[in-house]
Every structure is written in C-alpha cells, then in structure tokens.
Amino acid sequence: MSVELWTILIVGLSFALYIYIGWQSRVKDTKDFFVAGQGIPSIANGAATAADWMSAASFISMAGLISTLGYDGSIYLMGWTGGYVLLALLLAPYLRKFGKYTVPDFVGDRYESNIARVVAVIAAIFVSLTYVAGQMRGVGIVFSRFLQVDINTGVGIGIIIVGFFAILGGMKGITWTQAAQYCILILAYLIPAIAIAFILTGNPFPQLAFTFSDVADKLNLIQTDLGFAEYTKPFANKTMLDVLFITIALMVGTAGLPHVIVRFYTVKNVRAARFSAGWALLFIAILYTTAPAVSMFARYNLIDSLHNRTIEEVRQLDWANKWEKTKLLVFEDKNNDGKLQLTPNKDTNEIDIDKDIIVLSTPEVAKLAPWVVALVAAGGLAAALSTASGLLLVISSSVAHDLYYRIFDETASEEKRVFVGRVVIGFGLVIAGYFGVNPPGFVSQVVAFAFGLAAASFFPVIVLGIFDKRTNSQGAIAGMLSGLIFTSFYIIGVKFMGMTPWFFGVSAEGIGTLGMIINFIFTLTVSRLTPPPSAKIQALVEDLRTPNLEES
C-alpha cells in the first residue's frame, strides 16, 4: 500500500480509539469534567502528563530545531526537561496539597483576591491560546502532507476529533485519551529512530549510536565544507547570553504551565502526585534522550539526499515531490548551474527546508517502510491533539470555574457549570482553528513564546505563594501584570513589528526570563510596601510546606 493509504488506515484507527475512549469516559459533574474525579492511577496519569507536555513542539519541531541549530538546539532539551524536574520537585506536591482545580484558583485563594484570580485567568488564557496555536499548526502540517488535503481541511478534522473527547469527556476523557496517545507517539518516535540508527551505524540503540559512532564527525566535516559551523560547535547560531535566557525561560515556563500543573490534581493524593511525576519523567526521558540522535541522523540524510543534486533528480524522490507541494520544502536553482546547493547564506541557498517537516520527512528520506512513515504521522497528530485538548480544558476551567462560578454565580449547579465549560471549549476550538490556519510562526517558536509568557506571569507568584508567606495580593497582581505586559510587548514588537532585540540581543524566545525577574521584583517590592496577608493565609502557607506523614 502507498504511504497515503497506510496513513488513512493508521490515523483512522487511532482516531477511532480516541473517540471510543471519549465516549466511554463521558462525564456529568464538575469534578470529573475538570479533574477526572481525582481517581486516575499514577502510571496512567504519568503517561497522560507526558503526552500533554510533549506537544507537537517536542514530537514534530524540537528535533528539527536541533537539526538546524546543532549544539545550540540543546537549549530545548535542557529547558523543557529541566523545567519538568523543577515542577515535579518544587511545585507539584504543594499545589496538589493545596487542593484547588486550577492555577487561577490557587492564586485567587492564596492571595484572597478576585482581582488576582482574574489576572491569573487572563494570563492562563493568553498562555494557552499561544500554545494551542503551535499545536494546530502541527495538525495542519501532518494532514497537508500525508492525507494530501489543504491545511484548512486538516485543521478542521483535528478540531472535530479534539472537540469530541474534550467536550464530552472533559478531563476524564482527555486523560485516558492522552494515555493512549502517549503509547502511539512514543512508538512512532522510537521505531524509525531505531531503524535509522541501525542503518547508519549498525547499532539499534539511538542514544548509543549517537554517542559512539562517527556520524557526528562526518556531519561536522560536511557542515564546514558547505560553509556552516560544525554541527557540535557551541554558540555558533546563538550568543551565550541568549542560550542562557532561552534555557531559563523554557525551564521556569514549564514549571508555570497551567495545563501541566492541573494534571497533578487528577490523582488521589499527594503521594500519588509524586509517583505520577516520576512516571511522567521516565516517559518523557525516553523521547528526549532519543531526540538528539534523530536530529543528527535527519540532518545527515537530508544533506546527502538533496545537496548538489539537480532539481529533476530531487523531484524524482517521491517524498521531496510531495513535501514541495505543501510549500514547506522549496527548491530554486538561483545560479542556473543545474545543481541545488545548501548554504548558510540566504541569497545563495537553493534548498529551503521548513524546520517542522524534518522529523516527519525523516522516515521517507531514510527509505523506511510506508507503514512506519504513516505511524510517524499518527504520532505527530497524537502529540499535537493531546496537548491541544489539555490547553482547551485549561481555557474552559479558567472561564467556567474561576470566573463564572467563583466570581459571578457561586450558586450555579453542577450541570450548569459543566455546560458553560463545554461552551467555552467550543469557542476555544474556533480560536484554535483560526491560529491553525494563520499561525504566527513555526511550532517550537510559537510554543517557546507560550513558555516565556508562563515564566513571566505564573512562576513567581506560584513559588512565592508557596514559600513566602509575606507575599500578598497587591504584590501578586503587580508582578503578574508587569511580567506579562513586558514580555508580551517584547515578543510582539520583535516578531511582528520589526523591533530590534534591544536587551543585549536576547531573542523573543528568551525574554521571558527577564519578564520573570521583573515579576519577582515587583511582587516582592509591592508586597513589602503594603500590609501583609491575613494570619489565616500565613498559617495556611506554613501548613502547606509541612509534610503530611500519612501521604508521604
């Protein structure tokens, strides 16, 4: 069978599985809808957390960035994995012990302020919408290539599937669907990685093949011959300061992501949350230790397949021909010498490869079986849809629970709150679809913006809310607003309004670190200049940090 038929079969079966799980997990009350009844087993929640966290950016785009940036691309590995460790060890147990559904709920109750709650809701929606834009772009890319439909149609299909199990099953349906999606995406990532590692090095373990083979040395020579920096040379594409700022922004942004934090409320108790975090870290590590090998092998194979070939030769490659139709792979013989040249200079480069297609095209470039190529497409969709569903539920809970129920109508019935949550998911799907059709950047870039916004808005007020009983509502509000406004201004100015990165050349992806520092300064300063929190809140913070021996 052709790649397209295999894709229809495997993607169709996976979507049928998601729909079945969503139907079986349909819910009626708010506890099931927002936190899955707090009855998910630790290992299942760990898999769901891994799928929720490893979005299209991790599956589709991260290896492509590392493949393009070489050593400097490791910022995404260090930032995202380090951030998860930070979240699991520093924040998750305390947030779970606090016992609230959402991050805005924690902020509102910890700081005894509905204004702080509203600011947190705005930040959660802003972060989630930015993040979901990257997921919808990933869905559109997969469908446009493997089902040979336009991106609009592909995004529409994805929205229908996500909407079904998110609206019907809420967090319960999403959690069990994400556990299944993790199984699919990790198989889709490992199978081609193992096959390509064995083809190139004779070693079937990608991590060992990456470390102990001569592929890196060969690639370094090829890169320098073409005018690029060595693949393994540090700070060749980014300054040391920018690398530091991006890594920190990704790390603390991970620890402040509302759709990941809420996963620790779906288990029974604090002990289960700790075990869930451990399982998730293991499941995440499987993909993240494989990504550097996939990146290097993909770069090596792409250069070997495309550089110094004629356009006619390249277009005879079925995979290149089909990716060219998506306009994510572009060929242009600029010097009319009959050969295509890959160079670091935009004026002379004749092969333009979108970073988001590198992982998806790798199995075809390596001439693996069509079913493997189709499995990778299903994995990419699983990664994008799992995270999109989690983000949509954050938007839903932020509006339905934190605004509608906690501020406007505390007498609202269970059925009414669930109905409002489902309506909000519908609106969120429409906005997500728009961003899928009109994305503001490539997947990992857009996701990095979301991490920067989370770092600048949530991380300081969560950390200080747990560890500093003197921090009050005035400080939290000032910190969140200052961090979010500054970071948003810098990102929008640099990426969409032509503003030069004026802070020592730090990119928009890394400016969230400065936004976080500004947030900390404003929060601590304003808190010290205004009255302290009530004695009740100070006692609550003290108790929050006291271990519960029955659950430890």
pLDDT band at 165 (very low <50, low <70, confident <90, very high): low
How far is Cα 128 from Cα 122, in angstroms, rounded to an integer? 10
| Same domain for 187 and 306 | no
Q: What is the pLDDT of residue 515?
A: 95
Position 513 in a domain: no
> Hey, what are 368's tokens?
């693996």
The 10 Å Cβ neighbour count of residue 261 is 23
195 and 183 assigned to the same domain: yes
pLDDT for residue 171 is more than 70? no
In order, the DSSP letters of 127-189 are HHHHHHHHHHHHHHHHHHHHS---HHHHHHHHHHHHHHHHHHHHHHHHHHHHHHHHHHHHHHH
In the three-class reduction of DSSP (H, G, I as helix; E, B as strand; rest coil), residue 338 is classed as: coil
Return the SS3 of 352: strand
CB-hemisphere CA count at 13 Å for 227?
A: 9
The answer as to whether 17 is a domain residue is: yes
280 and 383 fall within a common domain: yes
Structure tokens at 466: 């747990």
Residue 261 shares a structural domain with residue 126: yes
Q: What is the mean pLDDT of the chain?
A: 83
Q: What is the CATH number of the domain that holds 380?
A: 1.10.4160
Average pLDDT over residues 34-59: 75
For the chain, the distance separating the N- and C-terminal CA atoms, rounded to the nearest angstrom, is 53
Verify that 233 and 253 share a domain, yes or no: yes
Number of domains in the chain: 2
The pair phi, psi for residue 358, each rounded to 5°, is -65, -50
Higher pLDDT, 270 or 219: 219
360 and 247 within one domain: no
Residue 490 maps to a domain: no
Q: Please state, in angstroms and rounded to a whole number, the distance separating the CA atoms of residues 306 and 357.
A: 15
Q: Are residues 120 and 24 in the same domain?
A: yes
* Domain end call among 438, 470, 496: 438
Q: What is the per-residue pLDDT across 373-415, written as a single tens digit (0 to 9) for each?
A: 889 888 888 887 777 777 777 777 778 777 777 777 777 777 7
- The two tokens of residue 94 are 């305390």
Domain that holds residue 258: 3-300+367-438
Q: pLDDT over 90 for what percent of the chain?
A: 21
- Residue 549: the pLDDT is 44
pLDDT of residue 204: 93
Is 310 among the domain residues?
Answer: yes
Q: Which of 365, 386, 410 is the last residue of a domain?
A: 365
Q: How far apart are CA 291 and CA 466, in angstroms?
A: 34
In a domain, 102, yes or no: yes
What is the rounded average pLDDT of the residues 68-86? 85
Q: Which of 438, 456, 481 is the last residue of a domain?
A: 438
Report whether pLDDT(277) > 50.
yes
Q: Are residues 279 and 372 in the same domain?
A: yes
Q: Which residues make beta-bridge pairs with 329?
A: 353
More confident call, 247 vs 433:
247
Residue 73, domain member (yes or no): yes
Mean pLDDT for the stretch of residues 233-246: 89
Which two structure tokens, joined as six digits, stand for 504?
């020592």
Q: Quick one: 165 and 309 in the same domain?
A: no
Same domain, 294 and 306: no
Assigned token pair, 476: 């939290």
Residue pair 440/433 in contact by the 8 Å Cβ criterion: no
> Residue 336: is its pLDDT beyond 70?
yes
Cite the beta strand spans of 195-347 per DSSP E. 329-331
Is the pLDDT at 542 greater than 80? The verdict is: yes
- Does residue 457 belong to any structural domain of this protein? no
DSSP string, 462-503: HHHHHH-TT--HHHHHHHHHHHHHHHHHHHHHHHHS----TT
Same-domain pairing of 167 and 142: yes
pLDDT, greater one: 168 or 128 = 128
Q: Which of the 8 DSSP states describes residue 91?
A: I
Q: Are residues 332 and 226 in the same domain?
A: no
Averaged pLDDT, 288-311: 89
In a domain, 522, yes or no: no
Determine contact, residues 250/75, Cβ cutoff 8 Å. yes
Q: What is the distance of C-alpha 243 from the center of its chain?
A: 19
Angle of helix 74-86 versus helix 291-306 axis, rounded to 10? 160
Res. 482 pLDDT band, cuts 50 70 90: very high
